[in-house]
Chain A
Amino acid sequence: MSEYIFDESLISTEVQDTLSSNLKLRPLAKDDFDKGIFDCLEQLSITGDISQKKFVERFEEMKKAGGYYTIAIEDEDQGKIVGLGTLFVEMKFLRNCGNAGHIEDIVVHDSQRGKNLGRRIIEQLKYLGKELGCYKLILNCNEKNIPFYEKCGLTVKDVQMTLY
């Protein structure tokens, strides 16, 4: 069994039960390079050309640092990842040394869209946020995705500014 980026006990059985029997909701695993993780991520953004070695290196850095809760939905019939999402937990001094949960890199493979998988990913990340004591969850999205995130129970606040 492959090594996970965080403990499997933090996966919500309630969310897993909403998925069809061939889909497994689990933490990101060290051998996920072989399960098409970059085919999935490429649908989100520029990934570049990452070798398996680089993937494993980054996985190990994230696991060692802690705070990275990346989840995957794997189609076990195909042995392929069809959905991903990350909750990054930022430690603060504000809010009585509170934790802020940053939702990042949400993607569902286009072969699996329209099946509510995005919704399930967000529900799992919300569950994680609660278990890990986050006082808020925040994410940035394009305007066209606002209705989706509103359905997940989030509301619009503030503007993202970027510097490249």
Chain B
Amino acid sequence: MSTLFSIDYISSEVQESLPKGYVLRPLSNDDYERGFFNVLSKRFNYMKARNDEYFIIVIVSPEDCIIGTGTIFIERKFIFNAGLVGHIEDVAIDKNHQGKHFGLSIIQALKYIGVKTGCVKAILDCSVKNIPFYEKCGFRSRCHENTWIVKPI
């Protein structure tokens, strides 16, 4: 098994908070067998070559199935004193495992990576109905500026 990035970036605190038998770890190249669907090795290898940028994590159940995932990719900037911004993307928990704080664990694990890589901030986009969940995770919508996401039709 080859992992996308070093397990040094995995928060032991978050791992310890998971129910017994559940494992938090980086994406690995044989995860398609665990139901991560069509992991193409070329894309995995592209990201692994850039594993200071792409951090994809999974939570694996005691039955060795992936039940949750999340990504933080680290964008380099010239602004913010040549700083780094963490973009949180593609957070998903299997519906049979929802409502059990796995989503919170994924976000906490991604925040840990953001801090460890030295990001100035972490940002994510979400629908209005998910705002309360992300507020519980410590995120704020920038109400005084009312930032929005826009995308082409």
Contact = CB atoms under 8 A, between A and B. Distances in A.
The judgment on whether A and B are partners is yes
B76 A161 contact: no
A46 interface: yes
A149 B120 contact: no
A46 B81 contact: yes
Given A163-B111, A163-B139, A97 B43 contact: yes
Interface residues of B, number: 54
Contacts of B125: 138, 140, 158-161
Chain B interface main SS type:
mixed
A92 B53 CA distance: 13
A139 B149 contact: yes
A132 interface: no
B39 to A, nearest CB: 6
A159 B126 contact: yes
Name, among A47, A61, A159, A161, the residue most crowded by chain B CB atoms within 10 Å (CB to CB): A161
Chain A interface main SS type:
mixed
Name, among B39, B125, B127, the residue most crowded by chain A CB atoms within 10 Å (CB to CB): B125
Contacts of B139: 161-163
Nearest to A92: B90
B141 A160 contact: yes
Interface in A39-58: 41, 44-50, 54-55, 57-58
A57 B81 CA distance: 13
Interface string A81-124: 00000001011111011001010110000000000000000000
Contacts of A156: 148-150
B126 A158 contact: yes
A29 interface: no
A142 to B, nearest CB: 5
B75 interface: yes
Interface in A141-164: 141-143, 146, 149-150, 153-164
Interface size class, chain A: 35 or more
Interface in B66-125: 73, 75-83, 87, 89-90, 111, 114, 120-125
A161 B153 CA distance: 22
Given A140-B147, A160-B123, A161-B135, 7 more contacts: A48-B82, A55-B82, A67-B53, A140-B149, A161-B131, A161-B141, A162-B121
12 contacts: A41-B78, A46-B80, A88-B75, A90-B73, A90-B89, A93-B38, A104-B75, A136-B152, A137-B152, A155-B153, A160-B124, A161-B135
